[in-house]
């Protein structure tokens, strides 16, 4: 763990990354953050000047999946660099020092203050927190101490959000999320099982550029990443609207890429940017690979049956459909008439999908 506080520009030069690669990265980040393309230059200017902020990464009750996700950050190599230049002073899974010298890094960083705290894993509180101890101290104690002098906390993954799998009933260890234990400190939740590291990179870039955390929803999740319904951006959505559903794993509809709603896909009630930023260098995501969404960024998602269809109360129009543009020279009245006709058609399409669902259910 390198504790020197060089600037990002210095790191770029040392690693032989070109300015073109750097600007491409800033444009990708502006896209993920749902900012106008003109914000890319603002991000570039801010990142060039910024000093490496110190970060501590605490890992408690978890499977290390979010750390695995971090280690596979492979969008433009600059993303890796941004995470590297965070001056990761403490991450017990991947840091070289161990034992007393590792704990000293943590103590020194907390004493200095002004650091970001990233938390992975749930925090057990039953029986004085004895179910997760590091260096002889309970996770709950370590978290409270880290929170006492931090600039902000980023809770990554389902476990740090709501307790995750360790909190599954009957939750013998009393597993909790960060927000259940810490108050009075800005907390941003980046749930998912595991975290998509592009969302962590974008959150950090927002923090470094605008000196504040991104806008959050009522669950403390950034709107840029969790503000849109998966169903509305899914490449299988056209099949949902046409009433074309996979009925059994490996059937003809499955082979043709039809909608997975009847196989239990939770896309209609799940909010995350998986269909747009995807995984593995933006090449794939679970629904694209043929499995339904399990809504892993939702509270207590593990309590839903993964293969039971969810009730749909409202069919919303897909945002992937092209907008209706008025033709040049057309009068507002004609445009209104066409708009009304399109509205009726969209309503009919939604109704057809729901009707076909109902018909299939009755068969």
Residues near ligand SF4, by CB under 6 A: 230-231, 234, 236-237, 240, 259-261, 265, 267-268, 287, 292-293
CB-CB neighbours of 348 under 10 Å:
11
Q: What angle do CA 23, 24, 27 make, to 5 degrees?
A: 90
Question: Least separation, in Å, of the C-beta of 298 and ligand SF4?
Answer: 14
CB-CB neighbours of 107 under 10 Å:
11
Measure the CA–CA gap between 304 and 265, rounded to whole angstroms. 11
Residue nearest to ligand SF4 (CB): 267
If phi > 0 it is left, if psi is from -120 to 50 it is alpha, else beta; for residue 271 that is beta
Smaller CB separation from ligand SF4, 112 or 235: 235
Contact 202, 33 (CB under 8 A): yes
In the numeric block, the tokens 């740090």 are attached to 160
Smaller CB separation from ligand SF4, 148 or 320: 320
- The partner residues of 90 in beta bridges, in order of sequence, read 56
Smaller CB separation from ligand SF4, 166 or 268: 268
Question: Least separation, in Å, of the C-beta of 287 and ligand SF4?
Answer: 5
Smaller CB separation from ligand SF4, 214 or 286: 286
Smaller CB separation from ligand SF4, 32 or 260: 260
Half-sphere exposure of 332 (CA within 13 A, CB side): 0
Question: Least separation, in Å, of the C-beta of 235 and ligand SF4?
Answer: 7
Smaller CB separation from ligand SF4, 106 or 230: 230
Question: Least separation, in Å, of the C-beta of 233 and ligand SF4?
Answer: 8
Smaller CB separation from ligand SF4, 221 or 236: 236
Q: Which segments of the chain does DSSP mark as H helices, in order?
A: 8-14, 19-32, 39-49, 65-71, 77-84, 99-112, 139-147, 157-162, 197-210, 223-226, 237-241, 252-255, 274-277, 286-289, 332-362
Question: Least separation, in Å, of the C-beta of 306 and ligand SF4?
Answer: 13
Question: Least separation, in Å, of the C-beta of 282 and ligand SF4?
Answer: 18
CB-CB neighbours of 276 under 10 Å:
17
Cis ω on the peptide bond leading into residue 246 (within 30° of 0)? no
191's tokens: 């749930």
Smaller CB separation from ligand SF4, 91 or 236: 236
Question: Least separation, in Å, of the C-beta of 134 and ligand SF4?
Answer: 39
Q: Kind and range of the H or E element at 59?
A: strand 55-59
Measure the CA–CA gap between 83 and 195, rounded to whole angstroms. 14
Contact 167, 175 (CB under 8 A): yes
Question: Least separation, in Å, of the C-beta of 268 and ligand SF4?
Answer: 5
């Amino acid at each position: 763990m390198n504790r020197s506080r060089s600037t990002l520009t210095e790191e770029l030069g040392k690693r032989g990354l070109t300015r073109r690669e750097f600007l491409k990265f800033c444009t990708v980040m502006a896209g993920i953050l749902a900012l106008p393309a003109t914000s890319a230059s603002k991000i570039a200017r801010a990142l060039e000047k910024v000093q490496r902020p110190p970060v501590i990464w605490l890992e408690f009750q978890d499977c290390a999946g979010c750390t695995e996700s971090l280690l596979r950050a492979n969008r433009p190599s600059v993303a890796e660099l941004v995470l590297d230049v965070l001056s990761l002073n403490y991450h017990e899974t991947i840091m070289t020092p161990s034992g007393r010298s590792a704990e000293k890094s943590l103590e020194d960083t907390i004493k200095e203050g002004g650091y970001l705290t990233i938390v992975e894993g749930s925090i057990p509180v039953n029986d004085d927190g004895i179910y997760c101890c590091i260096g002889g101290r309970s996770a709950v104690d370590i978290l409270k101490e880290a929170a006492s002098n931090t600039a902000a906390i980023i809770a990554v993954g389902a476990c740090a959000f709501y307790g995750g799998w360790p909190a599954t009933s009957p939750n013998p260890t009393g597993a909790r999320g960060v927000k259940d234990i810490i108050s009075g400190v800005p907390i941003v939740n980046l749930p998912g099982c595991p975290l998509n590291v592009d969302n962590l990179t974008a959150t950090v870039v927002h923090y470094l550029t605008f000196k504040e955390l991104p806008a959050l929803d009522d669950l403390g999740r950034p709107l840029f990443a969790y503000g849109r319904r998966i169903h509305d951006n899914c490449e299988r959505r056209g099949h949902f609207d046409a009433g074309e559903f996979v009925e059994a794993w490996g059937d003809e509809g499955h082979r043709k890429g039809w909608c997975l709603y009847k196989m239990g896909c939770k896309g209609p009630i799940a909010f995350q940017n998986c269909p747009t930023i995807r995984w593995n260098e933006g090449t794939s995501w679970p629904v694209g690979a043929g499995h339904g969404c399990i809504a892993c960024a939702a509270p207590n998602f593990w309590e839903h049956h993964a293969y039971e269809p969810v009730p749909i109360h409202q069919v919303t129009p897909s945002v992937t459909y092209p907008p209706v543009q008025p033709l040049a020279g057309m009068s507002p009245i004609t445009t209104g008439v066409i708009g009304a006709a399109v509205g009726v058609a969209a309503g009919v399409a939604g109704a057809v999908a729901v009707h076909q669902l109902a018909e299939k259910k009755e068969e």
